[in-house]
Structure 1
Amino acid sequence: MQKNLMIYGSCVSRDAFPLLDPEFRLVSYVARQSMISAMSKPTDLLPGDALSSAFQDRSLVGDIRSNLLQLVRRFAGDLDVLVIDLTDERLGVVRLPDGSHVTRSHELVSSERLKAVQGRTQDIRILTERHWTLWESAATRLLGALSQMGLREKTVILNTPWAETTHGGEPAPPFWNFDTPEVNAYFSECCAHMRSLGFKVVDLPEDLRYAAADHKWGAAPYHFEDSAIAWIADQIQETAAVAASAVLRDSEAV
Structure 2
Amino acid sequence: MAAKRAVVRNGGNRFDGRRARVARVAIIGSCITRDLWPILGEAPADLLYISRTSLPSLFARPLAGVELADDPPPGLARHQHNALRADLKKSALAALVAHRPTHLIFDFIDERFDLLAARDTLVTHSWELEVSGYLDQPAFSSARIVPRASAQCDQLWREAALETAAFLSTTPLSDARIILHESQWAGRYLDRAGQLQDFDPDVMIFDGNVGSLDAHNALLRSYQQRFADLTGAARVSADPGLMVGDVCHRWGLSPFHYVADYYRDIWGQLRALGL
Structural RMSD (CA) = 2.0
Letter in 1 for 2:272: E
Q: Secondary structure at the match of 2:204?
A: coil
**Following TM superposition, by how much is the alpha carbon of 1:46 offset from its aligned partner in structure 2, in angstroms?**
2.1
* 8 Å Cα contact 1:20-1:233 kept in structure 2: no
Letter in 2 for 1:169: L
Specify the alignment match of 1:231 in structure 2: 265
Higher relative contact order (CA 8 A, sep 6+): 2
- Aligned CA distance change for structure 1 residues 183 and 133 (closer, same or farther; 3 Å): same
Query: Identity rate of aligned residues, in percent?
Result: 21
- Aligned CA distance change for structure 1 residues 74 and 227 (closer, same or farther; 3 Å): same
Distance in 2 (alpha carbons) for counterparts of 1:44 and 1:235? 42
* 8 Å Cα contact 1:83-1:236 kept in structure 2: no
Letter in 1 for 2:48: S
Alignment of 1:159-178 (within 5 A): 159-167=182-190, 168-172=195-199, 174-176=203-205, 177-178=210-211
Specify the alignment match of 1:135 in structure 2: 157
Specify the alignment match of 2:27 in structure 1: 7
Specify the alignment match of 1:109 in structure 2: 130
Specify the alignment match of 1:202 in structure 2: 236
Distance in 2 (alpha carbons) for counterparts of 1:175 and 1:159? 22
- Aligned CA distance change for structure 1 residues 129 and 4 (closer, same or farther; 3 Å): same
**Following TM superposition, by how much is the alpha carbon of 1:120 offset from its aligned partner in structure 2, in angstroms?**
1.5
* 8 Å Cα contact 1:211-1:219 kept in structure 2: yes
Runs of 4 or more consecutive aligned structure 1 residues displaced over 4 Å after TM superposition: none
Specify the alignment match of 1:154 in structure 2: 177
Matched residues, number: 237
**Following TM superposition, by how much is the alpha carbon of 1:91 offset from its aligned partner in structure 2, in angstroms?**
1.1
- Aligned CA distance change for structure 1 residues 45 and 236 (closer, same or farther; 3 Å): farther
**Following TM superposition, by how much is the alpha carbon of 1:200 offset from its aligned partner in structure 2, in angstroms?**
2.3
* 8 Å Cα contact 2:97-2:173 kept in structure 1: no
Letter in 2 for 1:196: D
Structure 2 residues not aligned, in runs of 5+: 1-20
Structure 1 residues not aligned, in runs of 5+: 242-254
The structure in which a higher percent of residues are helix is: 1
Distance in 1 (alpha carbons) for counterparts of 2:138 and 2:197? 42
